[in-house]
Structure 1
């Protein structure tokens, strides 16, 4: 079986700093890449696309790779958020509230942090979400 590339360690570390700073988050090795969960719900997943694998991600992102991509949840249907339909974003059709983005040298990491906070609050228990929003607004 061929070994598929992992997301760059520096990218995973940047995401880790944001995600693990949130209450009750668990980091896991996913079927590919790394994911962060709250209450057993995946709110962020970073994956490396290479040579068209994984095919669902390559199709959704519109690239055979190489590309490092992050998927996250949105507080309302992703198609209702116009900027998520433009690069570097993409809209997988797995769930109505999922979006993704390509992470590269042009990534605005402040935007990524805000997207991750919104994703966390979308899936976190209401009390935790209220607490995080009160602290970080």
Structure 2
């Protein structure tokens, strides 16, 4: 069995810069890689696969999961959970898009009293 690479620390730090600024979102070690949680709910998980690719999985609304899945690479529908979508991270990753996906994932997973505090794309608060 091939070893799983660790995600580059700079990428983990970029993810943490977005999620760590959100109410009660905490970075935690995962079975492989790093996860972020709000309460007991996982918001995001970045990890290396046995194929040596680095993946980030997040939660999204069902229509967003479908839209991203249909875009194809680097996006994919995870094989678990109806609202889990992922993308392969590499040197061409659009980190602004990743920040939006992370923020949306937080708002899907967080209790509404926390999610309602988060500015969403377009400068509005999610209502």
* Structure 1 and Structure 2 fold alike (TM over 0.5): yes
TM range (shorter): 0.7 to 0.9
Secondary structure, aligned partner of 1:106? coil
TM-score by length of 1: 0.80
Matched, 1:122 2:108: yes
Tell me the TM-score normalized by structure 2: 0.86
Contact 1:77 1:97 in 2 (8 A): no
Change (3 A) 1:134 1:73: closer
Instruction: After superposition, give the CA deviation of every residue in 1:9-55 in whole Å (9 maximum; x if it has no partner).
Output: 11111111111011101111100000000121001000011xxx3xx
After superposition, the C-alpha distances for 1:66-118 in whole angstroms (9 at most, x for unaligned) are: 2111000002255532x333110011120000000011111100000000000
**Is the 2:47–2:55 Cα contact (8 Å) retained in structure 1?**
yes
1:24 aligns with 2:24: yes
Query: CA separation in 1, counterparts of 2:28 and 2:120?
Result: 27
Which has more helix, going by share of residues?
Answer: 1
Q: How does 1:95-110 map to 2 (within 5 A)?
A: 95-110=81-96
Equivalences, count: 122
Distance 1:6 1:21 in 2: 23
Q: Give, in angstroms, the shift of residue 133 of structure 1.
A: 3.5
What CA distance in whole angstroms lies between the structure 1 residues aligned with 2:81 and 2:103? 19
Structure 1 unpaired stretches of 5+: 54-64
Confirm whether residue 90 of structure 1 aligns to residue 76 of structure 2: yes
SS across alignment from 1:66? coil
Q: CA RMSD in A?
A: 2.1
